[in-house]
Amino acid sequence: MKERIEWHKKQRGDAWDTYEEPLRIADVIKSIGVEYKVIILDCLTLWLSNLMYADLKITDSINAFIDVLKNVGTGQALPDKLNTYKFNSSNF
Protein backbone atom coordinates (compact mmCIF):
# COMPACT_ATOMS: atom_id res chain seq x y z
CA MET A 1 0.00 0.00 0.00
CA LYS A 2 2.81 2.41 0.81
CA GLU A 3 4.29 1.86 -2.66
CA ARG A 4 0.92 2.59 -4.25
CA ILE A 5 0.58 5.80 -2.25
CA GLU A 6 4.06 6.93 -3.23
CA TRP A 7 3.37 6.13 -6.90
CA HIS A 8 0.16 8.20 -6.77
CA LYS A 9 1.97 11.12 -5.17
CA LYS A 10 4.65 11.00 -7.83
CA GLN A 11 2.06 10.85 -10.64
CA ARG A 12 0.15 13.84 -9.23
CA GLY A 13 3.19 16.02 -8.69
CA ASP A 14 3.88 18.68 -6.08
CA ALA A 15 0.74 20.66 -6.88
CA TRP A 16 -1.38 18.10 -4.98
CA ASP A 17 -1.61 17.73 -1.21
CA THR A 18 -2.16 14.19 0.02
CA TYR A 19 -3.77 13.27 3.33
CA GLU A 20 -3.72 9.63 4.36
CA GLU A 21 -6.53 8.67 6.73
CA PRO A 22 -7.79 5.10 6.88
CA LEU A 23 -10.70 5.64 9.30
CA ARG A 24 -11.72 9.20 10.20
CA ILE A 25 -12.05 10.88 6.83
CA ALA A 26 -14.86 13.13 8.07
CA ASP A 27 -12.45 14.68 10.59
CA VAL A 28 -9.85 15.30 7.88
CA ILE A 29 -12.38 16.87 5.52
CA LYS A 30 -13.70 19.05 8.33
CA SER A 31 -10.20 20.27 9.17
CA ILE A 32 -9.06 21.00 5.59
CA GLY A 33 -12.33 21.62 3.73
CA VAL A 34 -12.11 25.41 3.74
CA GLU A 35 -8.61 25.31 2.24
CA TYR A 36 -9.59 23.57 -1.01
CA LYS A 37 -12.16 23.96 -3.76
CA VAL A 38 -11.92 20.24 -4.59
CA ILE A 39 -11.18 17.22 -2.42
CA ILE A 40 -10.70 13.83 -4.06
CA LEU A 41 -11.35 10.75 -1.97
CA ASP A 42 -9.59 7.75 -3.35
CA CYS A 43 -11.53 4.61 -2.55
CA LEU A 44 -14.56 4.80 -0.31
CA THR A 45 -14.78 1.03 -0.59
CA LEU A 46 -11.40 0.68 1.11
CA TRP A 47 -12.53 3.16 3.78
CA LEU A 48 -15.59 1.00 4.52
CA SER A 49 -13.39 -2.10 4.65
CA ASN A 50 -11.08 -0.34 7.10
CA LEU A 51 -14.05 0.58 9.31
CA MET A 52 -15.26 -3.03 9.35
CA TYR A 53 -11.77 -4.36 10.08
CA ALA A 54 -11.30 -1.86 12.92
CA ASP A 55 -14.67 -2.99 14.30
CA LEU A 56 -16.00 0.57 14.33
CA LYS A 57 -19.66 1.42 14.04
CA ILE A 58 -20.04 1.96 10.31
CA THR A 59 -23.32 3.87 10.54
CA ASP A 60 -21.80 6.53 12.82
CA SER A 61 -18.86 7.02 10.46
CA ILE A 62 -21.08 7.27 7.38
CA ASN A 63 -23.38 9.78 9.08
CA ALA A 64 -20.39 11.86 10.18
CA PHE A 65 -19.09 11.77 6.60
CA ILE A 66 -22.46 12.90 5.19
CA ASP A 67 -22.80 15.64 7.80
CA VAL A 68 -19.36 17.07 7.07
CA LEU A 69 -20.00 17.01 3.31
CA LYS A 70 -23.17 19.02 3.80
CA ASN A 71 -21.25 21.68 5.71
CA VAL A 72 -18.04 22.02 3.70
CA GLY A 73 -17.76 24.74 1.08
CA THR A 74 -21.00 25.41 -0.75
CA GLY A 75 -22.79 22.43 0.72
CA GLN A 76 -23.31 20.99 -2.75
CA ALA A 77 -21.27 17.87 -2.18
CA LEU A 78 -24.34 15.64 -2.21
CA PRO A 79 -27.57 15.95 -4.18
CA ASP A 80 -30.41 17.53 -2.18
CA LYS A 81 -32.20 14.20 -2.14
CA LEU A 82 -29.41 12.72 0.01
CA ASN A 83 -28.82 15.72 2.27
CA THR A 84 -31.43 14.55 4.73
CA TYR A 85 -30.71 10.83 4.38
CA LYS A 86 -29.26 9.05 7.37
CA PHE A 87 -28.02 5.49 7.46
CA ASN A 88 -29.26 3.32 10.27
CA SER A 89 -28.15 -0.02 11.57
CA SER A 90 -31.05 -1.81 9.91
CA ASN A 91 -29.34 -1.09 6.56
CA PHE A 92 -26.41 -3.36 7.50
Domain that holds residue 62: 21-91
Determine, yes or no, domain membership for 7.
no
Check residue 11 and give its pLDDT. Answer: 83
Residues with active-site annotation: 8
Q: How confident is the model at residue 83 (pLDDT cuts 50, 70, 90)?
A: very low
Model confidence pLDDT, tens digit, residues 11-67: 888 888 888 889 999 999 888 877 887 788 888 889 999 999 998 888 999 999 888
Determine, yes or no, domain membership for 9.
no
Residue 69 pLDDT greater than 70, yes or no: yes
Total number of domains constituting the chain: 1
Check residue 85 and give its pLDDT. Answer: 44
Determine, yes or no, domain membership for 3.
no
Determine, yes or no, domain membership for 40.
yes
Burial class (CB in 10 A: 0-12, 13-18, 19+), 30: middle
